Amino acid sequence: MLDSLGIALTPPCAVDPSIVQKIGARKFSSATLFKGFPTTAQSVAKYPQTSISTLGNGLRVATEQIEGGDTATVGVVINAGTRYEDAQNNGVAHFLEHMLFKGTPKRDVKKLETEIENLGATINAYTSRESTVFYAKVQKADVPQALEILSDMLTNSKIDSTAVELERGTILREYQSIEENITETLFDRLHQTAYRGTPLASTILGSPEQISKLSRDDIIRYQKSHFVGPRMAVVGAGAIEHKQLVGLAEKLFANVPITAPNNVPAFKAPAQFTGSDILVRDDDMPLAHIAYAFETGGWNDPDTYTLQVIQQLIGSYNSNMVGGGFSSSPIIQEIADGQLAESLTPFHTLYSDTGLFGMYMISDAVTQRRLMNCVSEGLIRLSFDLSLDRLEEAKAKAKAAALQLNGTTAVFEEVGRQIMSHGRRIHPSEALARIDAVDQIAVQNCIRRLFYDQDHALAAIGPIWELPDYNFIRRRSYSFRV
C-alpha cells in the first residue's frame, strides 16, 4: 500500500531520494509556530544520515553519528519479547533479561558491576511486547569496552540454576509493584481484552504462577531460539563511526548463529483484535481510569503519520491547565467546559502488524456517560468537521513531536526500533514530508477506515457505575443520537 505521497514505507535505503525530490525547498508552513523548529526541507536534511550494514550471520549494524559530542549510546536490539511467547513460557523474555546481568565465565556479578561502575557507564535493559533492548551510554573512548561487556552478557551468560531461583523472588516483587501502578495495570487489561487468546494479551512479566514455574531450561531454550543474527541489531548513536562499530560487531558477535541452534525457530502468532471490554469496579478509588481504543495497522500502515496528526487534533487535557475551554480541539473544549475529566491523553501503541489508538482518561464517578459520549462522537466528527487552520496547527505540533529526540539514548532507541520495524531509518526530512502531506481527505479516510462503525476495546478500573455499556459506546461510532 502507498501513502498520500504515493511512496511505500519500507524501501531498503537510509533516505528515500524521491521524498527529498518531492519536498525540495518547500517551507513547512506551520513550523514557525515553534521556536527553533526547522523551517525548510534543506535544514532538516542536514540531520545525520544513518549507516546500515549486515554481517555474514545476518546481524545488522546501524550507526547515526552526531557531530560535536563526546558521548555515545551503543547497544543491541533483539526481536524477542512477549509476542514470541506462549501460555507455557509467558514471562520468559523478561526473566532472560534479568539473568543476563548475573555473570559470565569471564565476569561474575561483582566483577561485572565493578567494571561497569569504573567505566562510568550507564548500562540498562528492558523488555517490551516485541523486543528486548540492552544498551550503554559511555564516553567515546569507552565504546569498545562497553560493547564488549554487552556482548559477553548476551552471548556468554551462565544462567546458573541458583541465580534463577534467587532472581525469581525479585521478579515477583517487581510484578507486585506493577500491579500497584494503576496506569500500567490498565494498559495490561486493555491488551488483555483487545487481543484475547493471543500472546499480545499477555503481560510482559507473566503471571505469578508462570513466574514461579519458569525453569533454567525454559530460559536457555528461549535464548537459543531468539538470539540469532537476523533477529538482532547492534546500534550506535552519538560519537561513534560506522566503520568502528562494524569492526567491533564482527569481532564481538561473530559467534552469534544465523539460525536457532536448538532447531526451534522463533514463532510470532498473528495479531487478532477482539472488540470487547474489561471492567473492574472499585468504588473505594477516588477516580476512574479508562482506556478506550481502536485497532490500527502497525508501524508500516500507510496511515501511521495521519494518526500522528489525529493525536494532535484530539489534544491533551489536564484539569490544572489554564484555558482548556479555549482549546482548538472541540473534544478538549467540551471536557473543560463540562468538567468531564481530570485528564485526557491520546495514545497510539504500535506493533509490527497491529496497534491500539485511543484515549486514556481519568474521571470522577458521575461524568463518565457524558465523557464517553464526548470522546466517541468527537473522534468520528473529525472525519467531516475539520477546518484547514486546525489541521495546520495539528501538523505543526506533530512535526515538532517527531523531532523531540533529546540525547544519544533517545536516538539509539529510535534507530533500533525503525531498523526492526522498517528495515531502515526514516530520515527526519522524510517524516516531516509525510506529516506535511496529510490533508483533510487523508484524515477523513483514515477515521472512516479505522474508527467509523468499528469495534473498540475498553478497559476501566475504579468507580465506574456510570460508565456506559459496550453497545452504548459502540453506537456512537456511527450515530450522533443520544
Furthest C-alpha separation in the chain:
69
Phi, psi of 74 (to 5 degrees): -130, 145
Measured between alpha carbons, how far is 164 from 340 in angstroms, rounded to an integer? Answer: 48
Q: Is 97 a catalytic residue?
A: yes
Measured between alpha carbons, how far is 163 from 174 in angstroms, rounded to an integer? Answer: 17
Phi, psi of 122 (to 5 degrees): -115, 110
Which residue, among 291, 312, 456, has the nearest Cα to 360 in the 3D structure? 291
Strands 60-65 and 232-238: parallel
Q: What DSSP character marks residue 443?
A: H
Which residue, among 249, 253, 258, has the nearest Cα to 228 in the 3D structure? 258
Helix (H), strand (E) at residue 343: strand 343-350
Catalytic one of 64, 97, 130, 295: 97
DSSP 95-161: HHHHHTTS--SS--HHHHHHHHHHHT-EEEEEE-SS-EEEEEEEEGGGHHHHHHHHHHHHHH----H
Catalytic one of 167, 334, 393, 414: 167
Cell readout for 428 is 527526519
Q: What DSSP character marks residue 27?
A: B
The torsion angle over the Cα atoms of residues 196, 199, 204 and 210, rounded to 10 degrees, is: 90
Determine the distance from the C-alpha atom of residue 363 to the mean position of all C-alpha atoms in its chain, rounded to a whole number. Answer: 26
Measured between alpha carbons, how far is 399 from 9 in angstroms, rounded to an integer? Answer: 18
Count the residues in the chain: 482
271 three-class SS: coil
CB-facing half-sphere around the CA of 24: CA atoms within 13 A: 3
Measured between alpha carbons, how far is 364 from 368 in angstroms, rounded to an integer? Answer: 7
Strands (E) in 230-319, as ranges, are: 232-238, 276-281, 288-296, 317-318
No. of helices (H) and no. of strands (E), the chain: 18, 12
Q: Is 167 a catalytic residue?
A: yes
Measured between alpha carbons, how far is 458 from 371 in angstroms, rounded to an integer? Answer: 14
Cell readout for 197 is 487468546
* Residue positions annotated with a catalytic role: 97, 167
